[in-house]
Structure 1
Amino acid sequence: MSYLHSIFAQSPEIALFLSLACGYWLGKVYFGKFQLGGVAGSLLVAVLISQAGVAIDNGIKSVLFALFIYAVGFESGPQFFRSLGRHSLKEIAMAAVLAASGLATVIVLARLTGLDKGLAAGIAAGALTQSAIIGTASAAIAKLQLAPAEIQTLQANVAVGYAVTYIFGSLGAIIVCVNVLPWFTGRSIRDDAMKAEAVLLAGSRIYGVGEQPAAPDLVGRLYRVNALAGKTVSEIERLVPGLTVERLKRGGSIIGLNPNEILQLDDVILVVGRRAAIVGAVPSLGTEIETSDGMDLVMVKRDAAITNGEIIGHGVKDIADRTTNGVRHGVYVLGLNRTGKPLPLEPDTVIKAGDVVTLYGTADDVQRAAKIVGPFILPSDKTDFVYHGAGIVAGLLLGLLVVRIGSVPLTLGSGGGALLAGLAFGWYRTRRLTIGNMPTGASTLLRDLGLAGFVAVVGLQSGQQAVSTIVDSGLTLFFVGVLVTTVPLLITMIFGRYVLRYDNTAVFAGALSGSRSANPAFGEVLEKAGNSVPTTSFAITYALANVFLTLLGPLVVALA
C-alpha cells in the first residue's frame, strides 16, 4: 500500500486514469440483468484506490464537470428552447416533489435515529448530492443560540455526514434512474429514446457513419438514346419532371451540354433524378447500359444556411424556382431543417432565417446555387475553441453570481452556469451555423471524459474519509444515507408515473435524474439512450433542483 501511495503522490493522475480504465471495465460486467455502467464503475474503483491515499487537486474536478455539463447543454440547446412552455410544468412538479420528499425523509430519519442537526444536514447534502447544502446549513447553524464549541461541533458534523453518504448518493441515483425506473415502467430507456427521436425527426432517417439506404432517393443511370432522338435536353427534362440530363456523349466524345442540344440516335446520356421519376420513365429513356468511358460524374451533397432575404418568408418551392433559371441544371433539394428538426418538403412550408437546406448536384452547380441560397455549412473535424472557450467562461462567470433570499445564498454554481451557457450557445449556433463548430466526436469525448473523470475525482477525494468514518461510527449514518438517497427518488418516480403520466422512459429518466441534480445518473441515462432525448427534461429539473435542494439546508437545521 505504501508503494502505491508513493506512486500516486508523485503522479496522482495515474490514480485518475486507472479509476477510469478499471471502472469502465467493471461497468461492462453483468450481474444477472444488472450492469453498473462506466460512471458507477469508475466511482467504485476510485473509492477502492483512494484507500492507498491520493491527493488530487479540487480544480481538476471543477474543470472536468464544467466540460461535461457545457457539452450536454450545447448539444441540447435548440431542443431545450423549443420545449419550454406549458410542458415544463411537469418538470417543475417533479423537482418540487423530490425536494419536499427529501426534506421529509431526512427529518423523519434524523428524529428516529437521534441525529443532531449537523449530521442531518450533512446527510442531506451527501445523500442528495447537493454540496451547496453544506454552506447553507453551516450558515444556519452559526445563527443558532448555542455555545461556540457546540456550533463548531455541529458544523464539523455536517462534513462528516456528507463524506459518509455522498458516494452512495451518486451510486444510488444511478441504480434507480438506470435500472429501477425501466423495470418500473416496463420499457427500456434506449427503445423510448429512439421512439422520441423518430417523432422529433418527423419520420426521416438519420444514417450513421458507414450507413446508407439500399434504395436511395436520388440515382444516376446511363442510357443509349433511341426513341428520344430528335428531342432537346430541355424537352426531355420537361417530359420527365424530377430528372435532369447531366452528361452527353456522342461518337465517343463528351460534348458540351446545353438546354437546346438536340439528341441523336445512339447518343449516351447520364441522367440523374428522383428514383421514382427515373423508374417511371425507363421505357422512354432508351436502352440502359452499365458503363461508358468518360461518363462518370462526381455529385456532392452540401448543407447551406438560408440567408437570402428574397427566399426567407416564402415556400420551399422558391428554392427550386430560384435555382432553376440560369443556375440549376441538376440541383436537388434533399432536405430542410430548422434548429436540428427536419421540416416537410412541401411547397407551402415557409422558410425562416437560419433554416438549413441540403442541396445535391455537381460541385459547380451546387456552388452556384449556394450563392443564391446562402453559405455552405462545411463539415469539419476542427472545434471552434474561440466560440466554446467564450461559452465556458460565460457559464463559469454566471455561476459566480449569488442571490440572497433573506440569509440564504442561492447560486447556480459552476455546473448550473456552464449548463445554461451551453444551452444558450447551442441555441445561438443554430442561428449562425458558420460559427461554433463542435464535431460529434469532440462533444462525446467532453461528455464521457468530463463526467467519468469528475465522478472518479470525487471517489478519490472522499473515499478514504467515508470508509474510515463508517468504520468509526458504525453503519447507522451510511444506512440513513441510503434511505435518504432512494426513498425520495422512489416517491418522485411513482408521482411521475401515476400523477404526471410520463409515458416515455428516456424523458422520465432525464427528469428524475435532474430533479435530484444527479449528474452521474444523467450521464448513464444518456449512455443508455444513445441520443440527447433525455437532456431537455434534465436541464429544466436540474436548474430547479439547484434552487430547491439548496434551500433544504436551513430547513433541516430548523426542523431536525
Structure 2
Amino acid sequence: MDWLHDLFKTSPEIALFLSLGIGYYIGKIKFGKFQLGGVAGSLLAAVVISQVGVHIDPGVKAVLFALFIYAVGYESGPQFFNSLGKQSVKEIILAAVLALTGLATVVIMARLFGLDKGLAAGVAAGGLTQSAIIGTAGDAIAKLGLAADEVKRLQGNVAIGYAVTYVFGSFGAIIVCVNILPRLMGRSIREDAIKAEVAMQSGVKVLAPGQEAAVSELIGRLYEIVRGGNTVNDIETLDPATTVTIEKVKRAGRIIPVNPELVLQPLDIVLVVGRHDAMLSISKLMGKEVYAVEGMELTMQHRDMVLTNKQFHNKTVSAIRTETANGVRHGIFVTQISRMGQVLPMLPETVVQLGDVISIYGAEQDVKRVADSVGYVLIPSAKTDFVYLGAGLVVGLLVGLLTAKIGSIPLTLGSGGGALLSGLLFGWYRSKHQSFGEMPNPAVQILKDLGLAGFVVVVGLSSGLQAVETIKQQGFTIFGVGIVVTILPMILTMLIGRYILRYDNTAIFAGALSGSRSANPAFGEVLGKAENAIPTVPFAITYALANVFLTLLGPLIVALV
C-alpha cells in the first residue's frame, strides 16, 4: 500500500474527494427504511482511507466549516427571528427544552462513564443527530490552550463519538415521534392531521413541496358572446367580492383594444381570466365556451414583488383593494402574501407591511404596470452575490475572535459561533431587503453539504488511525451512552410538551418534536403518516431554532465536561 500512501502524500485532495464519493454512495444504501446518510458515510469512508496515512492541511477544515455553519445560519435566519414571537411561544420553549435536556443528559452521562470532552461532544453530535456540533466542539477544543497532540486526539474523539452513535440517533428519533408519541396522545398522526387540515381551510392552505391543488384557483376561459349589450366594466364589476378580467376581445376576425367602456357584441370572442368561483358566476352571462381560437393566446406570469410603497404599510387587504383604482388593479391577481418566509392567510383583515413579498399573477403588461405601484419585482437568479457572502463570513469570523473573561475563564464564540451568528443576521437582513445579497437555495445547499461533509472527512482522515483504537477500547460504552442521549431528552421534552405546553394535536406535536431534534428522517416518517403537510409549519419553526440551539451545545459541552 506504499504507492497509495505516496499518492495521497503528493495529492491529499484525492483522498478527500474519494472519501466524499465513497461516503455518499454508502449513505444511499437503505437498511429497511433507514439510510446512513452522506455525512456519516463520508466519515466512515475517511476513517478507512486514513489507515493508509493521509495528511490534510488544517486550514482546509477551517474553511469548509466556516462555509457550512454560515450557510446554516443564513438559511435559518428569517425563520429564526420570525419565530421569536407570541404566536410561536410553545415551539420556542419546546426547542429550548430539548436543547437543555440534551445538554444535561450528555454532561451527566459523560461524567458517569468517564468520557473526555471530545467523546462527549461526539456523542451529542451523533445521539442528537446535529452534525454541526462536531465543528463547534472541535473549534472550542482548539481554543483550550492544550498541546497540539492532545487537541488532535480530542478532536478525533469527537468524530468517533459521532460515528458510533449517529445510526441509533436517527432511528431513535423515529421511534419516539412515530410510535411512542401517538400512544401518549391516544390518537394517530393521520387522524389529527385531517382534523387540523379541516380547521385551517379558512386560512392558509399549506402544501408540501411537489404538491399543487387539483383545481386551480386561477383559470382562463374563451367565450363566444351570445347576447351583447354589457360593457367590459359591467362584467368585471359584476360581483365586488370576486374578480375577473377581460384580457382580449376578437371581433369579426380582428383583435380590438379593450377598455372599460367597450360594449360586447354577439359573436365576439372574449378571453376572460379570473378566480374559479368568479368564473362560475359569470359563465351564463358570457355565452358558450370555445377553445383554441387563433390570436387569442396569452402568456400569463407568476411574479414575486417586494412591497416598498409606504401607502400600503399596515393596511388590510380589504382596505387596499377598496382604495386602489380599478385601472391599477386590472388584470392582477394576488395569489400569496409572505413575510420573512412565512405565508400569511389571504383574508380581508390580513395586514400587510413593508418588506412583505406579494405573489401576483397576470399578463406581462399588467405585471409591469402594478410593479410601479407596489415595489420591485424579484428576478429569479442562479448567481450568488459573493460581495454579500464574503462580507457575512468576514464579519462572523471577526466576531469569533472576540474574547471576554469571567474571572480567569475566557469566553468566546469562536469562528463557528461567530459565523453562525453572522449567518443568522445576514440571512434575516436579506429577507427584509431582497434587492441584493442573492444566494439561491441550491447554492446554500451545496455550501451546507460540501462544507459539513468535507469538514467531517478532513477530521476522519486526520484522526482515523486513533479512531480505530478508541472504538476497540470504548465502542460499546459509547454506543450505550448514545442510546440514552437519543431517547431521554426526547421523552422528557415530549412529556413537557404534552402536559405543560398543552400540545393537543398529534400531527402538529410530532412535527414540532422532530424539528426540535433537527431529525429529518423522523420528520419524513411523520409526514408520511400524516399524508398531508400539516406537520410542516411547526417543524420549520423548531427546526430553525434547533439548528441554532443544538449547534451551540458543542462549546458548552467542552466547557462543562
TM-score range, shorter chain: 0.7 to 0.9
Q: Is the 8 A contact 1:77 1:424 kept in 2?
A: yes
Q: Which whole-Å CA distance do the structure 2 matches of 1:34 and 1:4 have between them?
A: 33
1:508 and 2:523 are equivalent in the alignment: no
What's the TM-score, normalizing by structure 1?
0.82
1:497 to 494, 498, 504: 494
Of residues 90, 109, 115, the one that matches 2:113 is 109
CA contact 2:517–2:543 (8 Å) conserved in 1: no
Q: CA deviation at 1:378?
A: 1.5
Give the fraction of aligned pairs with identical amino acids, expressed as a percent.
42
Paired letter, 1:440:
N
Give the drift of 1:188: 11
Please list the CA deviations of residues 27-48 of structure 1 after superposition, one character each: whole Å capped at 9, or x if unmatched. Answer: 1222344421111111101100
Distance 1:59 1:158 in 2: 15
Between the aligned partners of 2:401 and 2:180, the Cα distance in structure 1 is 38
Q: Give the superposition deviation at 1:56.
A: 1.0
Aligned to 1:179: 171
| 3-state SS of paired residue (1:376) | strand
Native 8 Å contact 1:122 1:159 kept in 2 = no
Name 1:40's counterpart in structure 2: 40
Give the drift of 1:122. 5.1
CA contact (8 A) 2:139 2:416 kept: no
**Are 1:330 and 2:341 an aligned pair?**
no
The one-character-per-residue Cα deviations of 1:58-116 (angstroms, maximum 9, x if unpaired) are 12222222222222221221211122365434444433333333333233223xxxxxx
- Give the 3 Å change call, closer, same or farther, for CA 91–315 of structure 1 in structure 2: closer
Contact map agreement 2:235 2:282 (CA 8 A) in 1: no
Counterpart position of 2:473:
476
Query: Separation in 1 of the partners of 2:484 and 2:408?
Result: 29
Q: Deviations 1:343-398 (Å, cap 9, x if unpaired)?
A: 12222211111111112221111111111111111111121221122112211222
Q: How does 1:217-236 map to 2 (within 5 A)?
A: 217-227=217-227, 229-236=228-235
Partners of 1:78 and 1:428 in 2: CA distance: 8
Amino acid across the alignment from 1:550:
V
Aligned length: 515
**CA 1:133/1:212 → structure 2, altered by over 3 Å: closer, same or farther?**
closer
Q: Given the superposition, is the C-alpha separation of residues 25 and 527 from structure 1 closer, same or farther in structure 2, using an over 3 Å criterion? A: farther
Give 3-state SS (helix, strand or coil) of 1:131's partner: helix
Structural mapping, 1:31-430, within 5 Å:
31-84=31-84, 86-87=89-90, 88-110=92-114, 120-121=116-117, 123-124=119-120, 127-128=123-124, 129=134, 130-131=137-138, 134=141, 160=153, 163=156, 165-186=157-178, 203-206=204-207, 208=209, 213-227=213-227, 229-240=228-239, 241-321=242-322, 323-430=324-431
SS in 1 for 2:102: helix
Residue type of the alignment partner of 1:236: I
* Residues 138 and 446 (structure 1), Cα distance of their counterparts in 2 relative to 1, 3 Å cut: closer
Higher alpha-carbon Rg: 1
- Contact residue 410 and residue 550 of structure 1 kept, 8 A: no
RMSD: 3.4
Q: Structure 1 residues 494, 74: CA separation in 2 closer, same or farther (over 3 Å shift)?
A: same
Equivalent residue for 1:487?
A: 484
Which 10-residue stretch deviates more, 71-80 or 245-254?
71-80
Does the 8 Å CA contact 2:99/2:546 hold for their aligned counterparts? no
Specify whether residues 127 and 186 from structure 1 end up closer, same or farther in structure 2 by C-alpha distance, changes over 3 A only. closer
Q: CA shift at 1:493, angstroms?
A: 2.9
Q: What SS does the corresponding residue of 1:75 show, helix, strand or coil?
A: helix
Deviation per CA, 1:142-182: give whole Å up to 9, x if none. xxxxxxxxxx8xx966754653x323322244224311111
C-alpha distance in 2, partners of 1:33/1:235?
A: 59
Offset, 1:491: 3.0
Unaligned residue ranges in structure 2 (runs of 5+): 125-133, 182-187, 528-535
After superposition, the Cα gap between the structure-2 partners of 1:203 and 1:544, relative to the gap in structure 1 and judged at 3 Å, is same
Residue 519 (structure 1) aligns with = none
Work out the CA distance in 1 between the residues paired with 2:323 and 2:368: 14
2:131 paired residue number: none
State the 1:311 CA deviation.
1.0
Q: Supply the AA of the counterpart residue of 2:138.
A: S
Gaps of 5+ in 1: 111-118, 140-151, 514-521, 554-560
Q: Residues 384 and 437 of structure 2 are in contact (CA less than 8 Å); yes or no, is this contact kept in structure 1?
A: yes
The aligned amino acid for 1:312 is H
TM-superposed CA distance for 1:544, in Å, is 4.6
Give the match for residue 539 of structure 1: 547
Say which SS state the counterpart of residue 358 (structure 2) adopts.
strand
Q: 3-state DSSP class of the match of 2:352?
A: coil
Deviation at 1:483, TM superposition (A): 4.5
1:527–1:489: structure 2 CA closer, same or farther, 3 Å change rule?
A: same
Contact kept in structure 2, 1:91 and 1:540, CA below 8 Å: no
Which residue identity does 1:493 align to in structure 2?
M
| Conserved 8 A contact 1:174-1:524 | no
Matches of 1:434 and 1:200, distance apart in 2: 33
Shift in CA distance, 219/418, structure 1 to aligned 2, threshold 3 Å: same
Q: Given the two structures, how large is their TM-score scaled by the length of structure 2? A: 0.82
Q: Aligned in 2, Cα 1:121/1:397: closer, same or farther, shift over 3 Å?
A: same
Equivalent position SS for 1:375: strand
> In structure 1, what is the Cα distance between the partners aligned to 2:488 and 2:111?
16
- Residue 136 of structure 1, CA deviation: 7.2
Aligned counterpart, 1:552:
560
Other structure's SS at 2:355 match? coil
Instruction: Name the amino acid aligned to 2:415.
Output: S
Letter of the aligned partner of 2:432 in structure 1? R
The amino acid that maps onto 1:246 is: E
Asked whether the 8 Å contact 1:101–1:491 carries over to 2, the reply is yes
- Call closer, same or farther: CA 1:326–1:282 in 2, change over 3 Å: closer
Q: 2:435 aligned with 1:434, yes or no?
A: yes
Shift of 1:319: 3.9
Displacement, 1:457? 1.4
Question: Which of 247-256 and 101-110 deviates more?
Answer: 101-110
